Amino acid sequence: MTRVLIGATSEVVRAGLESLLATVPTFKVVGSFPIGAALAKFEELLPDVLLLDLESSEDEAMSLPIDSGISPLVVLTDTTENSWAVEALRSGTRAILPRDVTSEEIVAAIQAAATGLVVLHPHVLHSMLSPIPPAEESEPDPSDQTLTPREIEVLCMVAEGLGNKEIASRLGISDHTVKFHISSIFAKLGASSRTEAVTVGIRQGLIMV
């Protein structure tokens, strides 16, 4: 029996995925929540596969776990850019599929991910094998990476010296979600530490001093 935890922002999408998985005798849905709640419930529910439907850039940021022990991820996303797909695979994602794939493809991807296989839809594979544009080959310019309003909020709290738990408490979100936001902030600002991220944030005018 493969235990699957579903995470999706849309209640309609969650209901559709639940109905789909209910038709597969070897699947058991252990929970279905908005993405942040699904990530927060991971340690409690311990699914074999974490199925995430990503429909926004903020969802994409949260889908990249930085903790070890996260279940194989099966991601449904409209984003198939080379750099995002590579980072997702490095972060524990086992399957990347467009959001408009068939039910059969979703089921097959979950089954494959549960056994340790990596699944890439042809569209995603084509994107990853395409020549990297010169802009990607050059040193990334942090100014081209726009932080979301929530990421700016988190960055300002980091600048205040708050820890992850304090940030989570103040924003009413989980520790996992805070970690995902910070990971995304580091990537977008080209920073390797909280201090460097704050320094870049001040330089770009994201943090008022």
Instruction: Give 145's pLDDT tier (boundaries 50, 70, 90).
Output: low
Please report the pLDDT score of residue 43 as a whole number.
83
* Residue 24, in any domain of the structure: yes
The mean pLDDT value for 134-152 works out to 62
Residues 114 and 157 in one domain: no
Round to whole Å and give the CA distance between 13 and 176: 22
pLDDT tier for residue 142 given thresholds of 50, 70 and 90: very low
3 has a pLDDT exceeding 70: yes
In a shared domain, residues 148 and 99 = no
Residues 111 and 146 in one domain: no
Query: Could you tell me which residues are beta bridge partners of residue 173?
Result: none
Return the CATH number at 189. 1.10.10.10
Instruction: Match 């040193």 to its residue by tokens.
Output: 139
* Packing angle, helices 82-90 and 122-129, rounded to 10: 110
> In this predicted structure, what is the pLDDT of residue 137?
45
Percent of the chain with pLDDT over 90: 29
Coil/strand/helix, residue 24 = coil
pLDDT recorded at residue 36: 84
Please indicate, yes or no, whether residues 67 and 169 belong to a single structural domain of this protein: no
Identity of residue 14 = R
Res 187 pLDDT > 90: no
- What band does 68 get if pLDDT is binned at 50, 70 and 90? very low
Of 82, 100, 129, which residue is a domain's last? 129
Which of 94, 90, 62 is CA-nearest to residue 176?
62
Residue 74 maps to a domain: yes
Give the length of the chain. 209
In this structure, is residue 137 part of a structural domain? no
CATH number, domain with residue 29: 3.40.50.2300
Same domain, residue pair 61 and 6: yes
DSSP 101: -
Q: Are residues 124 and 60 in the same domain?
A: yes
153: how many CB neighbours lie within 10 A of its CB? 15
Tell me the residue range of the domain where 147 lies: 142-203
pLDDT at 135 (0 to 100): 46
Strand order in the sheet with 2-8: 27-33, 2-8, 49-54, 73-77, 93-97, 119-120
Q: In this model, does residue 79 exceed pLDDT 80?
A: no
Q: Give the whole-angstrom CA distance, residue 46 versus residue 23.
A: 21
User: Residue type at 35?
Assistant: I
The residues that bridge with 88 in the sheet, in sequence order, are none
Residue 178's pLDDT is what? 86
Closest CA relative to residue 53, chosen from 114, 100, 112: 100
CA dihedral 99, 104, 105, 110 (to 10 degrees): 100
Hey, what are 36's tokens? 């942040």
| Full-model pTM | 0.58
Identify the helix (H) or strand (E) that includes residue 103.
helix 103-114
- Together in a domain, 16 and 55: yes
Residue 136 resides in a domain: no
- State the pLDDT at residue 138: 46
Structure tokens at 167: 């940030």
- Distance from C-alpha of 6 to C-alpha of 3, rounded to nearest angstrom: 10
pLDDT of residue 136: 46
Has residue 48 got a pLDDT over 90? yes
Phi, psi of 156 (to 5 degrees): -65, -35
Q: What is the number of domains present in the chain? A: 2
Residue that is last in its domain, among 90, 107, 129: 129
pLDDT average, residue stretch 15-26: 95
Same domain, 11 and 83: yes
